[in-house]
Amino acid sequence: MNDQVDVKPPVAEKIAKELSIHGDKRIDNYYWMNNREDPKVLAWLNAENAYLDTILSPEKKLREKLFTEMKSRIKETDMSVPYLKNGYYYYTRYEEGKEYPVHCRKKGSLEAPEEVILNVNELAAGHAYCQVAGLSVSPDTKLLAYGIDTVSRRRYTIRIKNLETNELLADEIHETTAGSTWASDNKTLFYSRKDTVTLRADRIMRHSLGVAADKEVYHEADETFDVAVSKTKSGKYIIINSESTLSSESRILDASKPNDAFRIFHPREKDMLYHVDHRDDKFYITTNWNALNFRLMETPLDKTSRQNWKELIPNRSDVLLEGVELFKEFTVLEERKGGLTQIRIINDKTHTEKYLPFSETAYTASVSSNPEMDSKELRYNYTSMITPNSVYDYNMETGTSELKRQQEVLGGYDPKDYATERLFATASDGTKIPVSIVYKKTFEKNGKGPLLLYGYGSYGNSMDATFSSTRLSLLDRGFAFAIAHVRGGQEMGRQWYEDGKMFKKKNTFTDFIAVAKFLVQQHYTDSVHLYAMGGSAGGLLMGAVANMEPALFNGIVAQVPFVDVVTTMLDESIPLTTGEFDEWGNPKNKDSYDYMKSYSPYDNVERKAYPNMLVTTGLHDSQVQYWEPAKWVAKLRELKTDHHLLLLHTNMEAGHGGASGRFKSLEEVALEYSFLLKLEGKEK
């Protein structure tokens, strides 16, 4: 495959490291890569980057063309739909040629003069990476708190800006998650602080403006829990939420009394999740207590323990309750049925209800930003694989819907040129796995068309059918694109997640393989033209299917892949490890260790032929450390018996999410697409 460029790939040095537990020995020849500061490691990563550049040098023009093409579809001067909060209309806009957003507001009316509250382009000047998050305006609308990260380790520093004078206050709060919550006094700020080694959010701090020392108000000692702070939609209560994969606990505080102690809403219990919001004289609780797919409860303000909870919406075996949005006179439910999202509106005055109607076979609808309780307008988002991202305002009283904005795709995109379908493949145990697919109408189902199959399948994160303007560059070159809604997500309800984790994790992999074989059987493609892609935990999926069914795919793109499962889950100093024992298991327990080892991609690389592979990572990744994909590639190079491409790309300036700018990130997509198109011989 790569004989056009006669160049040898880098060979990584082998230094045997014995890893032993439960009487089992593993030899890791590439353990030494676990040192970001070692010049030898950096040299090897740079050598791999240089190798990739050499191999893909014939595609350099194609990459540039793809980048320009994808960028040209983006409306460079663009603006979000303004939303009203505390008398101001807030919105975000982009300026032509600029990578980052400008956050703005107008007082009282959209005709009022614009106030720029934060121009991220100015903050990003001089930085290769810049991420700003957690914008939070004080209740009196005079101060803005925000988090900034210029390294890409998701360790944010909170800064505070005076919106009346545009001055930055001297306050600097380090090692945070970016988000912060104002008390009603406009001078007290609550935020979560991260452990500097594990990067776990483990404590809630109280910051008083102008005071150097912050006060710890809560420390989460359990290493399997993360902690966050927020406010109820009413603005009346501040909530600390401690959460692990399967259990949660809330603490509440009157927002007008920031120096008081938080009180426990209901003590944590194993396998019980709950989330709290407030309206008038009641708290509302979404919980899976005795309710696999969650239910909605209410309780008086002064009686928050569970024996006082009263059921409003029961658990349903076929409907997952995903979210609740409270208004003064309406309750809006985000539900999921048969793998599709739906929005249900209950009029609490008339006790009538309705569902918003959606007609496409595969789509995604979700509640958008609705900060005002006293509103009859529901803002919601809608998209499908052929309908660009759309924002609607729905009048819950009259039943009328108004399209406020649809993502503009420049260059003449016409949805009528494309088709989308929803299919069901049968898994090895008989389970029906949903598949969403999109292609140009000229695509022929003759078994020879190129098809890219995407999957994730972890943490209960559903991969819904959404629009992508960048994806058009593949569709217009003859590719079909499909999403395998495998177990481990939550597409078909909570049980779908339960059946794809811990000791059922392999269902995720076999489901994906079943979908791939189904698409071949249905003549969408064949194994010569079938490609797979997944990132992070979806990169684990890529590694597993590469080991299990290497001949099924012509090429695999593994983005920031979690592939060294056993070693990572044994190292509790690595960010995120302890919080994930309920997802993957704790390998200090022999049964978990044995099961993980049986599928961990790195541990199961064998001397055999593998498909063409492109592996990507970021040097500063805090979620999946760069050395996992690096070690995996080194081991694949050592053992694979084929002459297929194996390429590693390390972004030396970024982390888990890749590049931070809106255009810079397109370079990474262009790299992935040029790899796929090279394999297909479509190099234009």
Identified catalytic residue from 103, 485, 649, 656: 656
CA distance 637 to 394: 55
**Which ranges of the chain have pLDDT less than 70?**
1-5, 153, 575-576, 621-623, 654-661
As a whole number of angstroms, the distance between CA 146 and CA 371 comes to 18
Instruction: Give the pLDDT confidence score for residue 6 in this predicted structure.
Output: 73
Active-site choice (250, 536, 600, 622): 536
- pLDDT at residue 622, rounded to an integer: 61
DSSP E strands in 329-372: the ranges are: 330-337, 340-347, 352-355, 363-367
Smallest Cα–Cα separation from 512: which of 492, 540, 536?
A: 540
What DSSP element (H or E) covers 321? strand 319-326
280: annotated active-site residue: no
pLDDT score at 1: 44
For 513-526, write each residue's pLDDT tens digit: 999 999 999 999 99
Residues forming a β-bridge with 454: 483, 533
Cite the beta strand spans of 501-590 per DSSP E.
Answer: 530-535, 555-559
Dist CA 238 CA 300 (whole Å): 17
For 573-604, how does the pLDDT look when each residue is reduced to its tens digit (9 = 90+)? 776 677 788 899 999 999 999 999 999 999 99
- Spacing of C-alpha 520 from chain mean position: 29
Q: 184, 207, 621, 674: which one is catalytic?
A: 621
What count of other Cβ atoms lies within 10 Å of the Cβ of residue 548?
Answer: 16
pTM above 0.85, yes or no: yes
SS3 content of the chain, % helix, strand, coil (to 5): 20, 35, 45
Q: Which of 334, 357, 353, 337 lies closest to 345 in space, CA to CA?
A: 353
Q: What's the pLDDT score for residue 656?
A: 52
Is residue 53 annotated as a catalytic residue, yes or no? no
3-state SS, residue 521: helix
Q: Is 536 a catalytic residue?
A: yes
